[in-house]
Chain A
């Protein structure tokens, strides 16, 4: 198995190579997309890492088509602070399943976690993003109308732990949207019908074991992590990428997937862990180290799909 790095800068190649080398996978390096396309004909990388400069290459379409054709692999793009305006274009491509916008050393952490998750096919749990010893609190949502109370309790807990009103506000919004989606959009029958998606969100539904949603949260003084799980696994990669790319959220606030789009814009890193037909887990990370004026005005995302064994 291999990891393919496509980057024009030799020093960055070496840095990324050192970080990803810890996985034990063979690292293949290409200076440009043309060389990357040639390598893709001979290797089946588990992960492809591309610099944002690839977007301006005349071979971009061919390269990303080649990546998309290999549906099992992940494609990650690295973004510098001066290229954040490229994010809408990147999302529209639909080929990038992982976007990391943070500079070193946060980039190294995110790269390493991403690579380990892919290599080990061990995707689930917010613990992977938190320091050792961090306690995760959990709540099972057993009735749909518990959501406002659970979200209010979460905000109170955030403030009680000394975090700012801004962090509490972001945590509330993300938790509310993700729980709402897990209760109403995740349930799906054998024919693929999402039978609760049109049920009014203020209807009180009793949730049996299959329909219950689990919220977990914790903070390690770097990140406030919010994790929401459902037992359906009906959310797919294409739906997520379309939701993240939604431009009409910006323009009109309309359409399906708005909850995912707002959650993405309200945290620093949104991670989707998908076990199709079994389980969906979404982890939102809010960086609590930096004040709003020191934070990068963009968010990272990962979409992981569990490989069947």
Chain B
């Protein structure tokens, strides 16, 4: 838990993915990630990023803007909830990136368990477009869990916006 606000770490993952963990903040210098793109594509795994502040948001937007200039595609996988909140709150953070999978809040009515569960955005694209969250099973009691936010708010980052960069 104490690393949740630690400095950003970047490590290579499988299939050319770059795994980010820690905080995106004033120390992050995300711009250097662009040099790690392969074949015009940068794949970022954001599972380990549990904090981003306003200075981190600015750096993230600079990364997105520069990627568009350089015609690089950015794929985001396993995007954590704090990052999803920023994608929903600030349109410019989305750039032209593609979110392939992301975490979303679920709650179990039966046992009260609350979990952040992974959603495959590509596999569930049709239902997500209808703002219907995929069904999830409670990891503690195996009951059906309920989506624990307003779908129209939480999934708004998936909706194309005319004011997006590029």
Contacts and interface: CB of A to CB of B under 8 A. Distances in A.
Contact of A152 (B1, B58, B81, B153): B1
A166 B105 contact: yes
B115 to A, nearest CB: 9
B55 interface: yes
Given A202-B26, A249-B90, A258 B54 contact: yes
24 contacts: A148-B25, A151-B5, A152-B4, A164-B114, A166-B81, A172-B5, A173-B52, A176-B5, A177-B54, A180-B53, A201-B55, A202-B27, A250-B90, A252-B61, A252-B91, A252-B92, A253-B57, A253-B58, A262-B57, A292-B150, A293-B107, A293-B147, A293-B149, A293-B150
A169 B51 contact: yes
Contacts of B114: 164-166, 291
Contact of A297 (B3, B52, B146, B153): B153
B101 interface: no
Contacts of A71: none
B72 to A, nearest CB: 20
B23 interface: yes
A292 B81 contact: no
Most chain B CB neighbours (cut-off 10 Å) among A155, A293, A297: A293
Nearest to B57: A253
Contacts of B93: 253
B31 interface: no
B6 A253 contact: no
Most chain A CB neighbours (cut-off 10 Å) among B5, B23, B85, B163: B5
A17 to B, nearest CB: 34
Interface in B53-105: 53-55, 57-58, 61, 81-82, 85, 89-93, 105
B54 A293 contact: no
Interface string A237-269: 000000000000111111000110010011000
B2 interface: yes
Contacts of B61: 252-254
Interface residues on chain B, size class: 35 or more
Given A253-B93, A292-B105, 8 more contacts: A151-B5, A155-B4, A176-B53, A180-B55, A253-B58, A258-B54, A259-B54, A262-B54
A278 interface: no
B150 A251 contact: no
Contact of B81 (A151, A169, A250, A291): A169
Contact of B50 (A148, A169, A250): A169
B26 A258 contact: no
A10 interface: no
A254 B90 CA distance: 10
Contacts of B1: 152, 155-156, 159
A156 B2 contact: yes
Contacts of A177: 53-54
Nearest to B116: A165
A200 interface: yes
Nearest to B153: A297
Interface of A: 148-149, 151-153, 155-156, 159, 164-166, 169, 172-173, 176-177, 180, 200-202, 249-254, 258-259, 262, 265-266, 291-293, 297
Interface string B104-125: 0101000000101000000000
A152 B105 contact: no
Contacts of A258: 54, 57-58
Contacts of B91: 250-252
B136 interface: no
A173 B53 contact: yes
Contacts of B81: 165-166, 169
Contacts of A252: 61, 90-92
B163 A251 contact: yes
B32 to A, nearest CB: 16
Interface string B147-165: 1111001100000000100
A297 B26 CA distance: 29
Nearest to A170: B85
